[in-house]
Amino acid sequence: MGAAGVSHELFLASRNPKKIAEMQRILAEHVPGVRVLGLDDVDDYDEPAEDEPTFAGNALLKARAGTAATGLPSLADDSGLCVDALNGMPGVLSARWAGRMKSDAANNQLLLDQLHDVPDGRRGAHFRCAVAWVTPGGVERVVEGRMPGRVIRETRGHGGFGYDVLFVPEEYATSGLTSAEILPQEKDRISHRGRALREIAPLVAADLRDAAS
């Protein structure tokens, strides 16, 4: 048991504070008193290379390693942007599309360069996210979520992370707002990660209740 008011601690295999906060917000709706710990909250361990060809495979690798290292039930996600005109790329390579330094700015600039000559009508894309849940008792679950939309020609907005500044979700096609320009709660509602988390959160809650009984 963690701090006062915390009924469950989970581990999320990530150092991204925005991603951890997003997970915390969504899971708290289904798991009251939950506290999501990130990589900076636990002792260092050897993180696995994300060398699986699918989002689900990479998410499971990270969740299994997290549970083994921390002894906590662990969530991990692997997500990325799949662009129609690039045959689904960058896909699982999204975070390191422009190199191993994992620079959002460099990734976004490379994507803009690659799509420079692609007309607006062919700039369809979707974000995809796989979320894996692994418990010390051996439970393993994976769900996936998608957010369709399109890639625009310039970065806009200051919220979100990654390619959010270049992506207009389908729900905002009329207004043209990017994922980085909408409120966090609204992004949670429509995002690939939000959809996957809302699907897995009741399963997480049930597993935690079973483990406590």
Query: Which residues are the active-site residues?
Result: 78
Q: Which residue has the tokens 């709706």?
A: 29
Q: Is 184 annotated as a binding residue?
A: no
C-alpha pair distances (Å), 85 with each of 35, 152, 160, 211:
40, 13, 24, 46
Q: Is 15 annotated as a binding residue?
A: yes
Q: Is 79 annotated as a binding residue?
A: yes
Q: Is 164 annotated as a binding residue?
A: yes
Q: Is 163 annotated as a binding residue?
A: yes
Q: What is the Cα–Cα distance from 93 to 188, expressed in whole angstroms?
A: 23
Concatenated DSSP letters for 24-92? HHHHHTTSTTEEEE-GGGS----PPP---SSHHHHHHHHHHHHHHHHSS-EEEEEEEEEEGGGTT-BGG
Q: Is 18 annotated as a binding residue?
A: yes
Q: Is 213 annotated as a binding residue?
A: no
Q: Is 32 annotated as a binding residue?
A: no
Q: How many CB atoms lie within 10 A of CB 154?
A: 9
Q: Is 17 annotated as a binding residue?
A: yes
Q: State the Cα angle at 122 between 59 and 50, rounded to 5°.
A: 15
**Binding region:** 14-19, 78-79, 161-164, 187, 192-193
Annotated binding-site ranges for substrate: 14-19, 79, 161-164, 187, 192-193
Residues belonging to the binding site for Mg(2+) are 78
